[in-house]
Structure 1
Amino acid sequence: MAEHIQIPTPAGTFDALSAGPQDGRPVLLLHGFPEAAQQWTEQLAVLGGAECHAVAPDQRGYSPGVRPEQVLDYRMEELVGDVLSIAGHLGWDRFDLVGHDWGAAVAWATAAAHPDRVRTLTAVSVPHPDPFGDAVRGDEDQQQRSAYMRVFRTAGAERTLLDDGARALRGIYGGAVPQHHVDDYVQRLSEPGALTAALNWYRAMRYGGGRIGPIAVPTLYVWSTEDVAIGSTAALATADHVTGPYRFEMLEDVTHWIPEQAPEALSRMLLEHLLAHQG
C-alpha cells in the first residue's frame, strides 16, 4: 500500500505517493494529463514489493502547493527542474525515471539533459520529443491525432472540459481508466485553478527550447496500437534517437492509458528493464 508523503522543494511542496523501503532502488514515476500520481497505483505496489523505493509525485500544477499562475512557469525547463528538486530532497544522486503522457515528455527531456542523474528511462505512450515534433509538423496522421492540443490552448478550454458535469473531461479517458480513478481526477481538476494549471502545460509549449537530442541512458519505450493521440510514425522513429541500450514494446488492443489499462504487462516490462540495467 502506497503512503501519502509531501516533498518540499524551492518551487513549493509536492504531494506524492511512496512505496517500498527507504533504502531501496530509487524510482521516480511521472503522471500525465489529465491524471495524477494515483495512475501509478499498480506499479507502485509492484516496485515496492521488489524492494524499490518508488515515488510518484503530483506534478507542477496538480499539487496545490506548487500551482503558479503564469503560463511561463510551466515551461519544460521548469518541469525538469522539479524532477531534480524532488530527487534532491529524496537524497537520490541517480534514479530510474518513468513517465506516461506528459510525464514521459518530461522524462525524455530530463534524461537528455541530465544523463548522469538518470540510471534508466521508461517512457510510456509518448515517444522521443524530436521525432514526435517532426511528425506533428509533417505527418498528416499525427497532425490529426494532435489537433486536440489546439483546443486545450484556447482561453475557453476549461469551460469546455468542465461544462455539463465535466462530460468532455470524463470522455477523454474513453472508458479505459477505472471509474474511481476518473472520479478522483475530475474532482481534483474541478478545484479552483487546478484545470488551468494542468492546461498551462499545453499553453507553455510555444516557449519550448527546441530539440532535445539523443538519449544515452538505457531506455524502454512502450506504445500501444489503439492510442488515439500517438500514431506509429513517431513511435517507430524513436529508435533512431536513442544511442544507449533500447527496448521498444508495442501493446496490441490497448489505448493511451497503458498504466491503468494494462498494469500487469507494464509492470512486468518495467521490472525486466530495471533488472537488466543494475549499474
Structure 2
Amino acid sequence: MNVEHRDVEVNGIRLHIAEQGSGPLVLLLHGFPESWYSWRHQFAPLAEAGYRVVAPDQRGYARSERPEEVDAYTLPHLVGDVVGLIRALGEESAVLVGHDWGAPVAWSTAMMRPDLVRGVVGLSVPPFPPAMMPAPSVTRRVYGEGFYQVYFQEPGVADAELAADPASFLRRVLVGASGDNPYADEPQLWIVPEGSTLLDSLPEPDELPSWLTEEDVQAFARDHALHGARAYTGPLNWYRNIERNQGLMSPFQGRGIDVPALYMVGDMDMVTVMRGIPELREALPAIAPKLHDSVTLPGCGHWTQQERPAEVNAALVDFLAHLGTRS
C-alpha cells in the first residue's frame, strides 16, 4: 500500500497530509526544518501493525499553506491545527508522535486536550509545561546572541540565508546535527559565532551518512522551494512566537501530561546538552505520571526517526500495543 497525499482544510488554512493504513489514528508531527517526509520510514511499519498513519506538513511548511502574519504561528494555533485535523479526518482521538518542534506541539495538545489524545510520544524534545520552550529573553542571557533560536528572531535574516539554497542548507543541518557529524565527537549546540552567518557555522559535508541520500535531501528541498524566497519564513515564525507563547500558555501553569507517554532521544542530540534538560529528563515521571518509557539511543543525533528508524519503529509499535491493552 502506497502513501497517499491530499489536502484538508483546518482552521481556515490548507494543510497537506500524507497517509497510509487503516485503524486507530496515529498523527506524526515533524519538526524544523523538515516536512511529512521525515516520517518516510514510519508509514509502512505502523500501517502494517494496524494503524491509520497521517503525517501533515505543519502550518507554514512545504506543501501546506503559509499564513503571512507572524502571530499566526503561536503554540495555541499549532495545537488548534492538531485538534482540527483529528476532526477533519473523521476521528474522535489520536496518538500523537512529535519530533523536534513537533514534540512541543504533541506534548501541548496532550496537556490541553487530553480528551482527544490516547497517547503521546516525544522524540528529542521532552515536555516542559506549560509553554514547552524557554523564551529568547532567557536563552539570550544563557547562550548569547548567536544561539540559533535568538538568531532566528530577526525577520528576514535567516529567511534569506536558508532560502538561497535549500538543498545546501538541508545537507549542512541534517548532517551537522546528526550522530554522524564528522566535525564533532560530542553533541554541539547550534551557536553562530559573532560576525558569521548561520550557514558559516554549518560546513557543507563531503559525503552523506548512510541514513540520508541525496534523493532525500532533494525531496525536502523541492517541497520547501514551493514557497520561493520565503521558503523558511513560516517555519521561522514558529520561533518568533516562543516569547509570546509564555503568556498565552500561562493559564496552564501547573498542568502536566495526563495521558500515556513515551520519550526517545539520541545521546548525540544537541538537545541533551541544553541548560536544564538533564534535570527535566529526570523529572519526566513527575511531569508525565503515565510515562511508559524513556529511551536513549546510543550514537543517535537530533534526527531520531531518520537516523534510527528500526529502533524508533519498534518502540512505537510497542507503545501502541501497550495502549491497546489499557481499559
TM-score, length basis structure 1: 0.89
1:43-54 correspondence runs (5 A): 43-54=42-53
- Could you say which residue in structure 1 is the equivalent of 2:241? 204
1:1-279 correspondence runs (5 A): 1-21=2-22, 24-130=23-129, 133=133, 143=143, 147-155=147-155, 156-163=157-164, 167-174=168-175, 175=208, 178-179=212-213, 180-190=215-225, 191-192=227-228, 193-208=230-245, 209-210=248-249, 212=252, 213-231=255-273, 232-233=277-278, 234-278=280-324, 279=326
Tell which structure's C-alpha radius of gyration is larger: 2
Cα pair 2:96 2:121 within 8 Å, conserved: yes
Mark the CA change 1:56 to 1:138 in structure 2 (over 3 Å): closer, same or farther: same
Q: Following the alignment from structure 1 to structure 2, what is the Cα–Cα distance between the partners of residues 64 and 44?
A: 18
**Structure 1 counterpart of 2:32, one-letter code:** F
- How many residues align? The count is 275
- Cα drift, residue 133 of structure 1: 4.3
Q: Following the alignment from structure 1 to structure 2, what is the Cα–Cα distance between the partners of residues 139 and 205?
A: 11
Mark the CA change 1:210 to 1:115 in structure 2 (over 3 Å): closer, same or farther: same
Q: Following the alignment from structure 1 to structure 2, what is the Cα–Cα distance between the partners of residues 37 and 117?
A: 22
Q: Following the alignment from structure 2 to structure 1, what is the Cα–Cα distance between the partners of residues 136 and 301?
A: 20
Consecutive unaligned residues of structure 1, counting only runs of 5 or more, are none
Mark the CA change 1:200 to 1:269 in structure 2 (over 3 Å): closer, same or farther: same
Consecutive unaligned residues of structure 2, counting only runs of 5 or more, are 176-207
Q: Following the alignment from structure 2 to structure 1, what is the Cα–Cα distance between the partners of residues 236 and 264?
A: 25
- Cα drift, residue 271 of structure 1: 0.6
Mark the CA change 1:165 to 1:10 in structure 2 (over 3 Å): closer, same or farther: closer
Mark the CA change 1:165 to 1:94 in structure 2 (over 3 Å): closer, same or farther: closer
Q: Following the alignment from structure 1 to structure 2, what is the Cα–Cα distance between the partners of residues 185 and 194?
A: 11
Cα pair 1:6 1:15 within 8 Å, conserved: yes
**Structure 2 counterpart of 1:172, one-letter code:** V
- Cα drift, residue 12 of structure 1: 2.0
Secondary structure of the residue aligned to 1:28 is strand
Cα pair 1:216 1:243 within 8 Å, conserved: yes
Mark the CA change 1:205 to 1:267 in structure 2 (over 3 Å): closer, same or farther: same
TM-score, length basis structure 2: 0.77
- Could you say which residue in structure 1 is the equivalent of 2:191? none
Cα pair 1:16 1:57 within 8 Å, conserved: yes
Cα pair 2:133 2:242 within 8 Å, conserved: no
Secondary structure of the residue aligned to 1:157 is helix
Mark the CA change 1:272 to 1:160 in structure 2 (over 3 Å): closer, same or farther: same
Q: Following the alignment from structure 1 to structure 2, what is the Cα–Cα distance between the partners of residues 138 and 207?
A: 13
Q: Deviations over 1:41-90 (max 9, x none)?
A: 11111111111111001110015452101110000000000001110011
Q: Following the alignment from structure 2 to structure 1, what is the Cα–Cα distance between the partners of residues 139 and 75?
A: 24
**Structure 2 counterpart of 1:147, one-letter code:** F
- Cα drift, residue 137 of structure 1: 8.5
Q: Following the alignment from structure 1 to structure 2, what is the Cα–Cα distance between the partners of residues 250 and 136?
A: 27
Q: Following the alignment from structure 1 to structure 2, what is the Cα–Cα distance between the partners of residues 165 and 118?
A: 34
**Structure 1 counterpart of 2:233, one-letter code:** T
Greater share of helix: 1
Q: Deviations over 1:11-68 (max 9, x none)?
A: 22211111112xx111111011100001111111111111111100111001545210
Cα pair 1:137 1:143 within 8 Å, conserved: no
RMSD: 2.5
- Cα drift, residue 150 of structure 1: 1.1
- Cα drift, residue 153 of structure 1: 1.8
- Cα drift, residue 129 of structure 1: 2.3
Q: Following the alignment from structure 2 to structure 1, what is the Cα–Cα distance between the partners of residues 111 and 70?
A: 23
